[in-house]
Structure 1
């Protein structure tokens, strides 16, 4: 049976957070709810409880220079969080590039040998740098969220052991559709990155549509088994 799941969902940024939670519960969508700041993670992981929602401790790369005072909180919470995200690098604006690199490098070193951790990683215009910082010696499970890199970077990520999470907007990208057949079936995962992508009516509808499109390109794929694998 194919259950629904979402490895990258911004619960706190939904127009109606409680409606989003109701749909997750009713449709039984196993959801990794990423956060953009440690303080948001601290609050939400305490306030909201659900069988289907797991909160991820995050610090969005574009916010690091604005909220440096929260960095110690990130390190204090990190040992107790299994799911980490949204974290990574974003070089659309390189003004604070060094701040991002320093923070992400320390984060990876703190997680490097923790085989229980699952990281959902932002890498916009910075895939190569993300791969270089992580390297090949690690035990956590890395997911490249919304991959927009090159074919060579994709091959390097797959060889290193990364998973690739796919949303509906990616399935409407000609560039990504040329890369999709190159990704091993057991390395593909689902995400929505909602509310930052075009949705298909509802959360569950978006996931079902994304699954349908992936299956049309990758026959005999079991996306639910892939999700179970990262949880083990």
Structure 2
């Protein structure tokens, strides 16, 4: 069986259609061995840590650009404190979800960029990878990340062009693909996906967000990952099992601490 890692989701931080334990068992039954839970605000940090330990997954902590406010500079200090206090927690695998979102109505670009810069500095200091959000802002995300060449990680929910995808890969970043590629109308995403070498690819769900075309309830779940791989292999014209093996290893290259999590929890079954 192909093994899967959901490299970006919010499992346990948003309402689920079923219990965490049931979801965990279902995901495990289709080959999902781990996930990376990413946060949006300070209130998510401890919960993400708790859920990651319960499931035997990894987690990232960061301040999502859509949820910033006047006190966000203070929140960065609390983020930094949390990270340093939990650096010995192997389940902490990165900084995220961080980045820029210029799609929202009247975005405070100066605030977003100031906080993103501080979070990139934290990633550089701690040698942790990042899980990056970029909506209508990829050009600025790339420009800012260029100032931190030692920082690596994943560009979550990639929707850029073929040229932008190749530029990101040349910089050493992995690109996450999920529900959006399952839509026939997502031609730009599909062209970018087809143009890349497999060594740059990651699978993610953004669960419960970014629902795939086949979702009956408007939500995504880690259980969807095998169907995502099938769609990805169809778009690329590749054997799904071979592609799945490459993507599985890519997940560890993007989030190196995750390998130890998986090794420690190979036979993990979620329990209450």
With structure 2 as the length reference, what TM-score do the two structures score? Answer: 0.76
**What are the Cα deviations for residues 180-217 of structure 1, in whole angstroms up to 9, with x where unaligned?**
12211011011001122224467344111101011123
| Correspondence for 2:259 | none
Matched, 1:62 2:66: yes
Q: Which runs of 4+ in 1 moved over 6 A?
A: none
Task: State how many pairs are aligned.
Answer: 231
Matched, 1:175 2:180: no
Alignment map for 1:1-232 (pairs within 5 Å): 1-16=1-16, 19-28=19-28, 29=32, 30-46=34-50, 49-65=53-69, 67-68=71-72, 69-79=74-84, 80=87, 81-93=92-104, 94-112=106-124, 114-115=126-127, 117-135=128-146, 137-172=148-183, 173-199=186-212, 200=215, 203-218=221-236, 219=238, 220-221=242-243, 222-232=246-256
Distance, in Å, in 2 between the alignment partners of 1:19 and 1:134 is: 38
- Give me the whole-angstrom Cα distance separating, in 1, the residues matched to 2:40 and 2:168: 24
Indicate how the Cα distance of structure 1 residues 185 and 129 shifts in structure 2: closer, same or farther if over 3 A, else same.
same
Name whichever of 34-43 and 99-108 sits farther off.
34-43
Task: Identify if the C-alpha distance between structure 1 residues 231 and 86 changes in structure 2 by more than 3 Å, giving closer, same or farther.
Answer: closer
- Rounded to whole Å, the distance in 1 between the matches of 2:121 and 2:210 is 31
How far is the alpha carbon of 1:58 from its aligned partner?
1.9
Moved more, 11-20 or 180-189: 11-20
Unaligned runs of 5+ residues in structure 2 are 257-272
CA 1:174–1:65: 2 relative to 1, 3 Å: same
Structure 1, unpaired ranges of 5+: none
Range with bigger deviation, 21-30 or 31-40: 21-30
Q: Give the alignment's Cα RMSD to 1 decimal.
A: 2.4
Task: Give the TM-score normalised by the residue count of structure 1.
Answer: 0.88
